């Protein structure tokens, strides 16, 4: 049976910190959420006709309709940061301790990874990642650097065509092998000048290790699969 060997994790994300390689998942079903405007309706009632000479009551004023403007997603470009980026929502299936639940969770985890890459917002990803791992620490350092002092990234969008769960019944830690495709990324300073050379597009395989506890999954480690033997 083929075995996969893994590049040492410290090396994998040391490289990631150097080139800010951010891998994430397809934002499956994530659409920009809009809040419809509320419309106040008037309830009419039958009133007794006024007697001769009486002043008819004034009609109540019509309530103004609050027409909400949809938030339109705008990807980052050379002129500025991304705007109104859809925030991934964890599917209910991803909360199950099962093979299908882990697959859904890994998809969501990469979605939050992608959000951080595109916006610098690490919060959703941080909640479902063991931040003490060398990989996670290097990733946080890279993202914070790329979004500090007004900097931003353009491109680097990620898709994951394949999520293969290697399920071991009764194991405390489960493994997933994921194909990760990332587009070319550019890095801009606050003045709009590219501060460094772009990162070329990539197509790699990663191993992701996750643990279930207290009703939810958390990623404990991940690294690039570098060969087979």
**Statement: residue 114 has pLDDT above 60:** yes
Mean pLDDT of 5-20: 35
Rounded to the nearest 5 percent, the helix, strand and coil shares of the chain are 25, 25, 50
Residue 8 pLDDT class (50, 70, 90 cuts): very low
> CB–CB of 105/209 below 8 Å?
no
pLDDT at 89 (0 to 100): 97
End-to-end C-alpha distance for the chain, whole angstroms: 9
Mean pLDDT of 111-125: 95
Higher-pLDDT residue of 61 and 87 is 87
Higher-pLDDT residue of 152 and 34 is 152
Residue 35 pLDDT class (50, 70, 90 cuts): very low
pLDDT at 157 (0 to 100): 82
Domains in the chain and their CATH numbers?
A: 4-27+79-228 (3.10.450)
pTM of the model: 0.70
> CB–CB of 142/185 below 8 Å?
no
**Statement: residue 12 has pLDDT above 80:** no
Per-chain mean pLDDT for the chain: 78
Q: How far apart are CA 108 and CA 111, in angstroms?
A: 5
Q: Give residue-wise pLDDT tens across range 151-193.
A: 999 998 888 899 999 999 999 999 999 998 888 999 999 999 9
**Statement: residue 45 has pLDDT above 80:** no
pLDDT at 226 (0 to 100): 87
Residue 10 pLDDT class (50, 70, 90 cuts): very low
Phi and psi torsions of 153, nearest 5°? -110, 150
Higher-pLDDT residue of 34 and 184 is 184
pLDDT at 68 (0 to 100): 65
Mean pLDDT of 75-103: 96
Q: Which has the closest alpha carbon to 125: 133, 137, 134, 115?
A: 115
């Amino acid at each position: 049976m083929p075995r996969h060997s893994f590049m040492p994790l410290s090396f994998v994300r040391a490289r990631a910190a150097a080139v800010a390689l951010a891998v994430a998942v397809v934002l499956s079903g994530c659409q920009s959420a809009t809040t419809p405007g509320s419309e106040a309706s008037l309830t009419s009632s039958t009133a007794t006709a006024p007697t001769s000479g009486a002043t008819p009551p004034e009609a109540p004023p019509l309530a103004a309709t609050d027409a909400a403007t949809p938030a339109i997603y705008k990807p980052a470009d050379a002129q500025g940061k991304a705007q109104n980026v859809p925030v991934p929502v964890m599917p209910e299936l991803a909360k199950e301790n099962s093979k299908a639940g882990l697959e859904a969770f890994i998809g969501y985890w990469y979605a939050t990874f992608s959000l951080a890459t595109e916006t610098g917002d690490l919060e959703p990803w941080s909640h479902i990642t063991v931040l003490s791992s060398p990989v996670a620490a290097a990733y946080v350092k890279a993202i914070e650097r790329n979004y500090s002092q007004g900097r931003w990234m353009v491109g680097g969008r990620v898709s994951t065509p394949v999520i293969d769960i290697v399920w071991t019944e009764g194991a405390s830690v489960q493994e997933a092998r994921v194909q990760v495709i990332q587009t070319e990324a550019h890095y801009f300073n606050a003045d709009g000048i590219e501060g460094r050379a772009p990162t070329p597009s990539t197509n790699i395989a990663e191993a992701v290790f996750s643990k279930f506890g207290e009703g939810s999954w958390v990623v404990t480690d991940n690294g690039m699969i570098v060969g087979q033997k």
